Amino acid sequence: MNTAQKLAHPGGPALVEAMKFITICRTLDPQNDYPHIGDLQWWCRDGSLDDQQNWRFWYQKNGEALALGIIAGDEIICLLHPEFRTHERYRMVRQWAVQRIKERAGQQGKNQYEIWEQTWSLASGDDLEMVSFLEREGYERQEMYYHCYRRPLIEPVPAPILPTGFTLRPIAGEAEAEMRAALQRDAFSPKGSKTYEEGTLRQLAVMQMPQYDPQLDLMIMAPDGTPAAGCICWVDPVNRVGLFEPVGTRPQFRRQGLATALMLGGLQRLHERGMQAALVTGAHPGKEEKSTEFTSSRFVYEAVGFQLLCRTFLYHKVFATTI
């Protein structure tokens, strides 16, 4: 779906329903690896999830959702209600998702298609049953994986300390969307967006999300007015858990303590809004020689009080398209 065909808000009604479902799941099982409602909104920024066929809910007879499947690009996300979590139901969701990706690939004239799936573990070890299932299905574990960190917010947060001339402030509405998008693009290039124009469209989409708060979209400004670092904080007011997604610093401003100050500023604001904990995720490249950026982010997270909660691993398989 292109920009002109966008729904009333990115993600459409499925996003709102998914946020309700995830909130309930997190309430019942806060230690499991459910995405934060901020994750859902962040995933919708590029418009790929505006297509309601990329969401699928399964319901009980009383209308309560028991499972949700999401197709984000070529990645399958299977989410099950804590009271209905079985491998049979997981396979049910997965079967729908694989078929949907297969049909989409055929419609696009592709002769093969890729699927990415995730499995997660506590820091102490893998979900061996899920790993065994994916390996039997022919998936290969990728080098890159993710570390999810958690920080309690019961106590007051230390004040951020900025280098001389630098300031921390929230974004000033849509008038600064282009500037904010350029910061995101440069901090995560080339992953932030392919072009600055695309980045601006994504930023404007983020600003339309149901729970986006411009006061939690923060930037650190350099003395000359250049945005040097930025983050967005999201709140789950029911479970009282905040999320940082994303956190980034422009390359020329790194190693000056800006990310640490930025996160402390975000943690303060989350604490003020009644959050009892905060989450953040960092990507690990899987090889030591490629791990400089990961090591840097890990030190920042640990410096402001985050501790490792779990790891999420990616599994990948290429299928032939036969319809």
**Residue 122: predicted pLDDT:** 45
* CATH number of the structural domain spanning residue 263: 3.40.630.30
Instruction: Examine the fold and report which residue of 43, 77, 110 is the final residue of a domain before the chain moves on.
Output: 110
Instruction: Examine the fold and report which residue of 249, 275, 301 is the final residue of a domain before the chain moves on.
Output: 275
Please tell me whether residues 268 and 194 are part of one structural domain. Answer: yes
**286 lies in a domain?**
no
Please tell me whether residues 104 and 31 are part of one structural domain. Answer: yes
**86 lies in a domain?**
yes
**What tokens were used for 10?**
């990115």
Domain count, the chain: 2
Please tell me whether residues 106 and 193 are part of one structural domain. Answer: no
Please tell me whether residues 14 and 102 are part of one structural domain. Answer: yes
Neighbours of 272 (CB within 10 A): 12
Cα 320 to Cα 323: distance, rounded to the nearest angstrom:
10
| Tens digits of residue pLDDT in 67-124 | 999 998 778 888 999 999 888 888 899 889 888 888 877 777 666 667 666 655 444 4
**298 lies in a domain?**
no
**253 lies in a domain?**
yes
**139 lies in a domain?**
no
**138 lies in a domain?**
no
**133 lies in a domain?**
no
The whole-model pTM stands at: 0.89
Low-confidence ranges of the chain (pLDDT < 50): 1-7, 121-124, 289, 291, 323
Please tell me whether residues 180 and 268 are part of one structural domain. Answer: yes
**Residue 126: predicted pLDDT:** 62
Please tell me whether residues 192 and 257 are part of one structural domain. Answer: yes
- Using omega within 30 degrees of 0 as the cis cutoff, is the peptide bond preceding 251 cis? no
Secondary structure of the chain in HEC code, one letter for each residue = CCHHHCCCCCCHHHHHHHHHHHHHHHHHCCCCCCCCHHHHHHHHHHCHHHCHHHEEEEECCCCCEEEEEEEECCEEEEEECHHHCCHHHHHHHHHHHHHHHHHHHHHCCCCEEEEEEEEEEECCEECHHHHHHHHHCCCEEEEEEEEEEEEECCCCCCCCCCCCCCEEEECCHHHHHHHHHHHHHHHHCCCCCCCHHHHHHHHHHHCCCCCCCHHHEEEEECCCCCEEEEEEEEEECCCCEEEEEEEEECHHHCCCCHHHHHHHHHHHHHHHCCCCEEEEEEEECCCHHHCHHHHHHHHHHHHCCCEEEEEEEEEEEEEECCC
Domain that holds residue 237: 167-275
Residue corresponding to tokens 């960190």: 149
**118 lies in a domain?**
no
